[in-house]
């Protein structure tokens, strides 16, 4: 499983500074080159993934993958699954449904190119109940500034975890939203101006997806009936274009062992800290992976086994959001052509908005071509 790079670097610095009380300027170079191993197996048949990298100092934000490792997953019955490197520092193996059994225990072994041997504790694959429902509430937040009026949607999850299920859970979410440009295409410029007979909305509607980076964890240990009721998930505002048309949230619910829960819950707490490195007592994050020849070596990361269930929700609240820079330039005739002539040919074709019969204007291309925002015009198969 991939851990946010900046968070890894932050945790690396915390490991070095553990036990310090007074702020000082640390020698961050001492935290370089720590091994980072993350991965999981789930009860979903198919490929299982492990990532291996090395940490770097806090000023270096580039990924530092470690290639050439020998990696195995072993179950408690001593069945071995060998992983192959599919991308730099990313390893995978395929496991069948028969190999992924609720209640069975698994562990990870990693041998690096310099012949260091790392191994996780055995992790039990715990049962995960289905998600009962995903709900949302519309919120309206007012500020002292009358020009700032934020509308939002808060999501919640409901799950009945009573019975023979895990006591600890984590949720991962992928958001997908439909968004529209403010204008449709009235003419095309590629060195010459070509009006369209009928303005087209070919690039008016796009769909964009992304993974929610925030970590959400919860335990039912202190819940008498084992039910997870209205647990808050992510919060989306109208300050972006996400809620303008249709918004979809796909929620994956993972069962966690106590060790995995403690690990991710600690990361979640640390990721909420925004006051700076010295605002709270540094924490020593401990996963379940160790150097079997040198137990004193600090290892960042976690290997865990999880059952997973998922559910999708669609929301249509129509909180329109158009940036102020979408105002047309107000160019006409020769002024428009002169301006278009200053633009690089690498930008062709340039789309113009329709103003009136035979009259067109320029606006930022993101306001006419939805693909410029990084989305695609291909509607997802699951879209309502």
pLDDT average, residue stretch 62-80: 94
pLDDT average, residue stretch 366-379: 95
Residue 31 vs residue 178, higher pLDDT: 178
Specify the CATH number for 5-126+258-304; select among 2.10.25.10, 3.40.228.10, 3.30.70.360, 2.60.40.10: 2.60.40.10
The pLDDT assigned to 273 comes to: 61
pLDDT average, residue stretch 316-332: 85
pLDDT at 15 over 70: no
pLDDT at 161 over 70: yes
267-271, 325-329, 361-365, 371-375: segment of lowest average pLDDT = 267-271
Residue 31 vs residue 17, higher pLDDT: 31
**Residue 245 phi, psi (nearest 5):** -135, -90
pLDDT at 193 over 80: yes
Q: What percent of the chain has pLDDT over 70?
A: 84
The pLDDT assigned to 63 comes to: 77
The pLDDT assigned to 324 comes to: 63
CA-to-CA dists, residue 196 to 201, 207, 279, 358, 363, angstroms: 11, 25, 60, 10, 17
Average pLDDT of the chain, as a whole number: 87
The pLDDT assigned to 68 comes to: 97
The pLDDT assigned to 384 comes to: 86
- Which one of 19-28, 51-60, 188-197, 233-242 scores highest in mean pLDDT? 188-197
pLDDT at 250 over 50: yes
The pLDDT assigned to 123 comes to: 97
The pLDDT assigned to 20 comes to: 42
Q: What percent of the chain has pLDDT over 90?
A: 74
pLDDT at 281 over 50: no
pLDDT average, residue stretch 250-256: 98
pLDDT at 325 over 90: no
pLDDT average, residue stretch 254-281: 75
The pLDDT assigned to 30 comes to: 46
pLDDT at 148 over 80: no
Residue 142 vs residue 209, higher pLDDT: 209
How does residue 1 score in pLDDT terms, banded at 50, 70 and 90?
A: very low
The pLDDT assigned to 363 comes to: 96
pLDDT at 352 over 90: yes
pLDDT at 101 over 80: yes
Domain ranges of the chain: 5-126+258-304, 131-238+319-373
- Which one of 19-28, 235-244, 247-256 scores highest in mean pLDDT? 247-256
pLDDT at 58 over 70: no
The pLDDT assigned to 105 comes to: 98
How does residue 147 score in pLDDT terms, banded at 50, 70 and 90?
A: low
pLDDT average, residue stretch 220-232: 92
Reported pTM:
0.83
pLDDT at 142 over 80: no
pLDDT at 253 over 90: yes
């Amino acid at each position: 499983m991939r851990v946010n790079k900046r968070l890894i670097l932050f945790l690396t610095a915390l490991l070095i500074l553990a036990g310090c009380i007074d702020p000082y300027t640390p020698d961050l170079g001492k935290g370089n080159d720590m091994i980072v191993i993350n991965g999981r197996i789930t009860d979903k048949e198919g490929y299982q993934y492990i990532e291996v990298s090395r940490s770097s100092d806090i000023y270096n934000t580039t990924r530092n993958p470690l290639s050439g490792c020998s990696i195995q997953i072993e179950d408690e019955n001593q069945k071995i699954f060998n992983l192959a490197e599919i991308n730099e520092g990313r390893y995978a193996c395929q496991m069948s449904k028969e190999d992924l059994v609720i209640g069975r225990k698994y562990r990870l072994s990693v041998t690096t190119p310099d012949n260091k041997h790392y191994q996780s504790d055995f992790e039990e694959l715990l049962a995960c109940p289905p998600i009962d429902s995903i709900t949302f509430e519309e919120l309206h937040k007012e500020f002292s500034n009358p020009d700032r009026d934020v509308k939002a949607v808060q999501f919640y999850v409901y799950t009945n975890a009573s019975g023979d299920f895990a006591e600890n859970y984590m949720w991962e979410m992928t958001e997908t939203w439909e968004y529209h440009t403010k204008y449709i295409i009235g003419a095309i410029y590629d060195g010459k101006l070509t009006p369209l007979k009928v303005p087209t909305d070919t690039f008016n509607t796009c769909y964009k997806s992304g993974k929610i980076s925030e970590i959400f964890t919860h335990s039912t240990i202190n819940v008498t009936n084992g039910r997870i009721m209205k647990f808050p998930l992510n919060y989306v505002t109208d300050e972006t274009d996400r809620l303008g048309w249709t918004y979809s949230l796909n929620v994956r619910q993972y069962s966690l062992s106590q060790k995995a829960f403690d690990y991710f819950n600690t990361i979640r707490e640390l990721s909420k800290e925004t006051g700076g490195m010295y605002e709270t007592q540094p924490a020593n994050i401990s996963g379940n992976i160790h150097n079997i020849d040198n137990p004193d070596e600090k290892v960042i990361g976690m290997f865990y086994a999880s059952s997973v269930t998922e559910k999708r929700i669609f929301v249509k609240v129509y909180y329109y959001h158009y940036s102020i820079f979408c105002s047309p330039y107000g160019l006409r005739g020769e002024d428009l052509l002169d301006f278009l002539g200053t633009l690089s040919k690498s930008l062709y074709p340039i789309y113009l908005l329709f103003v009136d019969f035979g009259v067109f204007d320029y606006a930022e291309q993101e306001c006419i071509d939805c693909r410029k925002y990084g989305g695609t015009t291909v509607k997802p198969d699951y879209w309502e």
